[in-house]
Amino acid sequence: MTKWLDIAWEQEQSDVEEIAGPAANATIINYFAGVDRPDVKSDEIAWCAAFYFWCLKRAGADLTPIPKAERLLAYSATRFGTRIPEPRVGCGCIMKRTGGHHVTFVTKWTKTTITGVGGNQSNKVCEATFKRTADMVFIWPEIVTQKQVDQVSDIAATAKTIQADIAKTGISNTTNQLLPSLPDALPPHEQLAHSASALKSSLQTGFDFATFSYSKIWFVVAALSAYWVLRIAWNSNWIRKWRHEDAATGVQPLPVPVTEMEGAV
């Protein structure tokens, strides 16, 4: 479960509800203040977006991309995070309602319904079920960076290993690995003269090794290529296994970052 969803559930357990009349629930007013809208003093103002962004901010999200004037608008949630094609536990769901939009955190779903915990649902923080419609927008609130993916994703790390292995299967690369590069410069001649016998022995050993390497080069290249291909297949199998485990256990995959939310409502 995501941190922001944990926070939403905590609020749901706190029985946060509007107060009828001119008085206002201090907790709801705190949602407004928490998203930099301390000017709002009434719980009669639509506050589903305030609750949504308040939970995200408490979870550590930086709301800077959303102008303060727009943090009380549910459709603003479509511009904070990554759009995903299907619902996931913890994602935001933005839907049309009479006179505007509503946003909630998805907790479960069927083919015909979406259930979410959110603010201003029956005038309180609660879990509610909505009819599923084609124009609903699902947003993963986190803005995922490539650095984060590389740091936390076993799949991404293994994929990078596979990419490196593929590069190593090239004959030129393999040859470079077998034969060490020459030094930039030889030592001064005084040192060479001082250790001539050792140098001769070293050169002979190096010559013998080079002769052996070149005589066996194609066998070694073939063996190394087979090794890299087998390792690529092995790592690919692990990626498939991890993806199946993610799907079976409900672990949320990291979505690909996007820069524009096409079709957002």
Pair 93, 110 in one domain: yes
- Confidence band for 230, pLDDT divided at 50, 70 and 90: confident
pLDDT in the model for residue 88: 95
Pair 182, 240 in one domain: yes
pLDDT in the model for residue 60: 92
pLDDT digits (tens, 9 = 90+) for 85-111: 999 999 999 999 988 999 999 999 999
Query: For residue 9, what are the domain limits?
Result: 3-140
pLDDT in the model for residue 176: 46
Point out the least confidently predicted range of 34-43, 164-173, 215-224, 252-261: 252-261
pLDDT digits (tens, 9 = 90+) for 197-221: 555 565 566 666 666 656 666 666 6
pLDDT digits (tens, 9 = 90+) for 54-77: 999 999 999 999 999 999 999 999
Alpha-helical segments (H) within the chain: 3-12, 26-34, 48-58, 146-152, 154-168, 171-178, 189-194, 196-215, 217-249
Pair 132, 7 in one domain: yes
Pair 198, 127 in one domain: no
Residue 177 half-sphere exposure, CB side, CA atoms within 13 Å? 12
Average pLDDT over every residue of 139-164: 64
**Domain end position, chosen among 140, 160, 187:** 140
pLDDT in the model for residue 161: 72
Pair 136, 151 in one domain: no
13 domain-assigned: yes
- Confidence band for 257, pLDDT divided at 50, 70 and 90: very low
pLDDT at 150 over 60: no
Q: Look-up: residue for tokens 């709301």?
A: 63
The 8-class DSSP code of residue 69 comes to G
pLDDT over 70, % of the chain = 57
106-131: b (≥16 Cβ within 10 Å) or e: bbebeeeebbbbbbbbebbbbbeebe
Say which CATH number the domain at 66 has.
3.90.1720
> Looking at the 3D structure of the chain, how many domains does it have?
2
Pair 27, 108 in one domain: yes
Pair 187, 113 in one domain: no
Query: Full-prediction pTM beyond 0.85?
Result: no
256 domain-assigned: no
Burial bucket for residue 25 (CB in 10 Å: 0-12, 13-18, 19+)? middle
Pair 179, 155 in one domain: yes
Pair 159, 33 in one domain: no
263 domain-assigned: no
262 domain-assigned: no
pLDDT at 19 over 90: yes
Pair 108, 166 in one domain: no
103 domain-assigned: yes
pLDDT at 166 over 90: no
pLDDT at 186 over 60: no
pLDDT at 251 over 70: no
Pair 27, 132 in one domain: yes
d(Cα 96, Cα 100) in Å, to the nearest integer?
6
pLDDT in the model for residue 160: 67
pLDDT in the model for residue 142: 76
**Domain end position, chosen among 105, 140, 175:** 140
d(Cα 53, Cα 55) in Å, to the nearest integer?
5
Pair 209, 231 in one domain: yes
pLDDT at 180 over 80: no
**Domain end position, chosen among 75, 109, 140:** 140
Find out whether 48 and 104 touch, Cβ atoms under 8 Å. yes
255 domain-assigned: no
Q: Own/partner pairs for 41-45, CB < 8 Å, 24+ apart?
A: 43/18, 43/19, 44/18, 45/72
Average pLDDT over every residue of 253-265: 42
